[in-house]
Structures are given as structure tokens and as C-alpha cells.
Structure 1
Amino acid sequence: MTTSTIDDRTSLRAPLFLAVLVLLGFGLLYSLVGTALGRLLFPRQATGSLVVLDGQARDSELVAQPFNDDRYFQARPSAANYDPMAAAGSNQARSNPELRKRINAAIIAVAAREGVAPADVPSELVTQSGGGMDPHLSPRAVQIQIARVARARGLAPSVVAGMVQAHTELPQFGVLGQPRINVLRLNLALDALGQAE
């Protein structure tokens, strides 16, 4: 065995050790520790914040759901057709004529559905979020839907408005974000209210 062969083996030892250390340490161990801590500290969120009905997981509070009945509050539109495996925005620029055309058509449709003037339609009811899966709406976007939902459910608008108020989440820690309402939680609460009567 020559000196150059020994030197070659010695010079390879350090990079190979570093590669194995990085692969196992950061690729495997770091991921396992992060996952374990997430499950320990936030067990419900780490498993998808699933909504369980009749003993079966049905939906997630973190993913917008489509509602196609007048009895339900409508969620924000989704560029991914509410498919969490294809979450994405439309990637259309504001200057894109197709985007403007789609938004204008959506404003007219929402205004007709809710019985409000087109100028009163909140932008989030006609535009998609960046990920296409935002489960929340602003109180304003929910409030313009109260009359329709109350009428379709045969409830007094004040009862539905009370449910909206009860499901309004304040900014996190009182300062982060805006007041918001999880549309799925609100719709499920309205369904439960109807079953209790």
C-alpha cells in the first residue's frame, strides 16, 4: 500500500463523516424531533385539526371547504378547487384581463346571490388566497351572507348574527392579524343548532 492510497483514504474520511452526520443529524434526527415536539405541544394541529363527526374524520378546520347550498356561508374561492393536494393561487397578475373578467363576473354573481350592490361585495368573496385554501373570512364577508343563510334555514337574522358573533375570532394575542371567522366551524354550529331544535 502506497502513501498516496493512505492519504486518499484519510482525506475522504472527514467529508464522508460530515455527509453522514448531516444526513442523519439534520435529515432524520431533526425531522423526528420536530415532529415529536409538534405532536406533543400541539397534538390537534399536528394531526390536521380534523373535524370528527359521528366518529369519523370529515374535514379539517385548516382547509377551506366548498359549500353549495344557500343554507351555508360560502367560503373564499379556491384556485385549487379546494383540493389540499393541489393548493395554489391562480398566479394571474392584477393586469391579466382574464383575472379582471373572472373577478367582475364573480362580483355580479355574489351581489345577486346576497342581494347587495356590487360595490358592497368584499374582495375576499371573489378573489382567491395565495394558497387557495384559506378557511377564514372577515366579519364583513360573513355579515353580507347572514340574510341569505337565515332565510334558507328559516331562522331569524338576529339568531344567525348571534352565531356569527360567537364564532368571530379576535386577533391572536390581541394584536396579530384581523378578526376572522372559520367558515367550516360556523356552518357546523348552524347545523348543530338546527338538529337541537
Structure 2
Amino acid sequence: MLSHLRPAIVSAGLFTVLLGLAYPLAVTGVAQAAFPAQANGSLVKDAKGTVVGSTLIAQAFAKPEYLHPRPSAAGAGYDASASSGSNMGPLNDTLIKREKTDADALRAENPGVVIPADAVTTSGSGLDPEISPANARFQAPRVAKARGLRLAQVQAVIDGQAQGPLLGFIGQPRVNVLTVNRTLDARFPAHGQKGG
């Protein structure tokens, strides 16, 4: 009996050490050495070194001089500890009312322009840091007006930050909201604000 039990115990101990300790430590070490910024959350810092966000997680931008991210269903909005979609179906009255309210506000902001779908729909996680280039261009007139800029200046920043699909075919073209907003602040500080 002991002769059968001993190999099982040794195997369990060996694989616990190997796969529960050695492998995770090795992967963490390689990640820290090869990709330190990504391994530490792709944090964005200001000129003083204070963390102001992450390029991987959306945050609420409500001021008119900033691009706004997709709506969020994560907790009270952009709550990383409650990452999830709304789980509401397309016929859910609450979802329909929220999307209609959002669409009406966007139509008032930019009359006569087609509203991009991601301007009124939440993502699966509720924390997508990126929006479509169409959504960014839709918001550009508001941002330009709030900053006292020409529309072309804002669009140039958006175009400069736009990313194509990964490897040319995975995913959709996208614009990181935080990156664009930080670039706008650096190049064209909003009223009473220093760049950086």
C-alpha cells in the first residue's frame, strides 16, 4: 500500500513545486525582464511620476476637452473591481432607455452626424480603454471647441495615435482614449491647465 502511495505523494509535491512555484516565478521573471512596463500594468505617469492611469483600463473622462471612452457597465462605471458587461439583452427596457438617452445627448452635441455604435454601447468588460477611430472623430469637434483649437489639430492627434488591427488582421482599428487625452494636454493645454 505504501509503495503505491509514496509515488503519488512525491509526484504531487514535485508538480506543486514545479508548476505552482518555479513556473510562475520563471514567467514573472521573464516578463519583468523583457516587458517591464506591460508586466507592471502599462501604467501612465505624469511629469512628477504620479500614476494617472493605465493604457489597459478605461477611466471616466467627462470634461468636454477630452475624448470620452465607451459607456461602462462595470460597477458605478469604470470600476475595475466590478469588471463586467451589463448582461442586458437587446430588448431590455433599461438598456434601450440608456442607449436612447446617450444617443440623444450625442445627437445634440453633433447634429446630423452618424453616431458610432461604440459611443452608446458598453463592452464586455466595461473597461475597454480604446474606442473606434470613428468614435474619436465624432468627438473631435467638441474637443476642438472646448480647447479653442482647429478641428484639424485634434484630428491630427487622433490620427497620430490611431492603431490598426494587431498584425494587420486581428481586431479592429482603435484609438486609446488616455493616450490621446494625454497627448492633447501636452500639446494643447486646456484652459487653466499645464501640459504634461
TM over 0.5: yes
Q: RMSD between aligned alpha carbons?
A: 1.7
Q: Which residue of 1 aligns with 2:90?
A: 94
Q: Which residue of 2 aligns with 1:167?
A: 161
Q: Which residue of 1 aligns with 2:67?
A: 73
Unaligned 5+ residue runs, structure 1?
A: 1-7
Q: Which residue of 2 aligns with 1:56?
A: 50
In 1, distance between residues paired with 2:51 and 2:158?
24
In 2, distance between residues paired with 1:21 and 1:106?
56
Q: 2:79 aligns with which of 76, 83, 105?
A: 83
Using the TM superposition, give the Cα deviation of residue 160 of structure 1 relative to its aligned residue in structure 2, in angstroms: 0.8
In 2, distance between residues paired with 1:35 and 1:190?
34
Q: Which residue of 2 aligns with 1:20?
A: 13
Using the TM superposition, give the Cα deviation of residue 10 of structure 1 relative to its aligned residue in structure 2, in angstroms: 1.9
Q: Which residue of 2 aligns with 1:116?
A: 111
Q: Secondary structure at the match of 1:120?
A: coil
Q: 1:141 aligns with which of 120, 135, 141?
A: 135
Q: Secondary structure at the match of 1:102?
A: helix
Unaligned 5+ residue runs, structure 2?
A: none
More helix by share: 1
Using the TM superposition, give the Cα deviation of residue 173 of structure 1 relative to its aligned residue in structure 2, in angstroms: 2.3
Partner amino acid, structure 1, of 2:116: P
Q: Secondary structure at the match of 2:188?
A: helix
Structure 1 length as normaliser, TM-score?
A: 0.89
Give every structure 1 segment of 4 or more consecutive aligned residues whose post-TM-superposition deviation is greater than 4 Å.
none
Partner amino acid, structure 1, of 2:17: L
In 2, distance between residues paired with 1:140 and 1:189?
19
> Considering only CA atoms, is the larger Rg found in Structure 1 or Structure 2?
1
In 2, distance between residues paired with 1:82 and 1:75?
10
Structure 2 length as normaliser, TM-score?
A: 0.89
Partner amino acid, structure 2, of 1:97: D
Using the TM superposition, give the Cα deviation of residue 28 of structure 1 relative to its aligned residue in structure 2, in angstroms: 1.6
Number of residue pairs aligned between Structure 1 and Structure 2:
188
Q: Secondary structure at the match of 1:34?
A: helix
1:32 aligns with 2:25: yes
In 1, distance between residues paired with 2:25 and 2:163?
32
Using the TM superposition, give the Cα deviation of residue 9 of structure 1 relative to its aligned residue in structure 2, in angstroms: 2.1
In 2, distance between residues paired with 1:146 and 1:111?
14
Q: Secondary structure at the match of 1:144?
A: helix
Deviations 1:141-170 (A, max 9, x none): 011111111001001111111111111112
Partner amino acid, structure 2, of 1:52: K
